[in-house]
């Protein structure tokens, strides 16, 4: 039985491109009903994503990126709003954009199409991460959350973080440069 088109589109959307072809084919081959297809997909796709992240994210490199991002936001805060560094929640406020940027980079690497990576493609991860961090800052700001950073710190910190993490990625390329991972 052919699975529903909408289900196939959803699976294709969430499955990283490096594994998309075989996962869609295997799920199609196993399909006996629409419900079974959805059940199979829900049990399979998250594990495929996690496995891809494991292959494309280097923990040491991620730690370096986290430090660089934290230093970027801290340095900008030091120059723009030094008293903020002594507030009780300041470290958490700085950690939020760092975490979101890192998450964006990890997902960008996992969902990158296999093949050669240009400098532009390597910078796409940090760019996506910083864009997410700015979006989250806007959302937190709109909700009057105490975790939102001032706009100046978010912008300049993001720009500095983008510059430094891109440079770091050019120097130490993420592990997966082949379709299957580290080969």
Partner 1 sequence: MAKPDSLGQFEQLVLAAILARREDAYGVSIHSKVRELAAPKAVSLGAVYVTLDRLEDKGMVSSRLSDPTPERGGRAKRCYRLEALGERALAESAVTAKRVWDGIVEIWGKEWGKRPGTEPS
Q: Is 13 in the site for partner 1 (CB under 8 A)?
A: no
74 Cβ contact list (under 8 Å, min separation 6): 85, 94
Q: Residue 121 interacts with partner 1 (CB under 8 A)?
A: no
Min dist. Cβ of residue 36 to partner 1 (A): 12
Q: CA-to-CA distance for 78 and 161, rounded, in angstroms?
A: 15
CB of 178 to partner 1, least distance (A): 10
Restricted to residues 54-73, the positions that interact with partner 1 (CB under 8 A) are 54-55
Judged by CB under 8 A, the number of residues near partner 1 is: 30
Q: How many CA atoms lie within 13 A of 68 on its CB side?
A: 21
Give the E-state strand segments of the chain in sequence order.
Answer: none
Q: Which region among 24-32, 66-74, 153-161, 165-173 touches partner 1 (by CB under 8 A)?
A: 24-32
| Residue selected from 43, 82, 86, 116 as contacting partner 1 according to rule CB under 8 A | 43
Determine if 46 is a binding residue for partner 1 (CB under 8 A).
Answer: yes
For residue 162, state whether it binds partner 1 (rule: CB under 8 A): no
- How many residues are listed for the chain in this entry? 183
Q: Which of 11, 48, 105, 153: binder of partner 1 (CB under 8 A)?
A: 48
Contacts (Cβ under 8 Å, ≥6 apart) of 61? 168, 172, 174, 175
Q: Closer to partner 1 at the Cβ: 111 or 132?
A: 111
- Of 59, 76, 69, nearest in space to 100 by CA: 69
Tokens of 84: 């903020």
Stretch of 23-31, 79-87, 95-103, 150-158 contacting partner 1, by CB under 8 A: 23-31
User: Which position among 9, 50, 85, 159 is part of the footprint of partner 1 (CB under 8 A)?
Assistant: 50
CA distance 180 to 183: 7
């Amino acid at each position: 039985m052919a699975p529903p088109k909408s289900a196939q589109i959803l699976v294709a959307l969430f499955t990283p491109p490096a594994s998309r072809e075989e996962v869609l084919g295997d799920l199609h081959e196993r399909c006996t009903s629409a419900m079974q297809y959805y059940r199979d997909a829900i049990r399979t796709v998250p594990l495929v994503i996690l496995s891809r992240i494991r292959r494309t994210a280097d923990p040491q490199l991620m730690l370096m990126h986290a430090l660089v991002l934290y230093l970027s936001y801290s340095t900008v805060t030091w120059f723009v709003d030094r008293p903020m560094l002594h507030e009780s929640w300041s470290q958490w406020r700085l950690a939020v954009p760092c975490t979101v940027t890192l998450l964006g980079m990890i997902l960008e690497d996992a969902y990158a199409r296999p093949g050669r990576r240009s400098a532009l493609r390597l910078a796409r991860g940090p760019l996506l991460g910083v864009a997410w961090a700015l979006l989250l800052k806007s959302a937190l700001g709109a909700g009057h959350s105490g975790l939102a950073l001032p706009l100046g710190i978010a912008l300049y910190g993001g720009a500095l973080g983008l510059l430094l993490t891109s440079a770091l990625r050019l120097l130490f390329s993420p592990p997966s440069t082949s379709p299957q991972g580290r080969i």
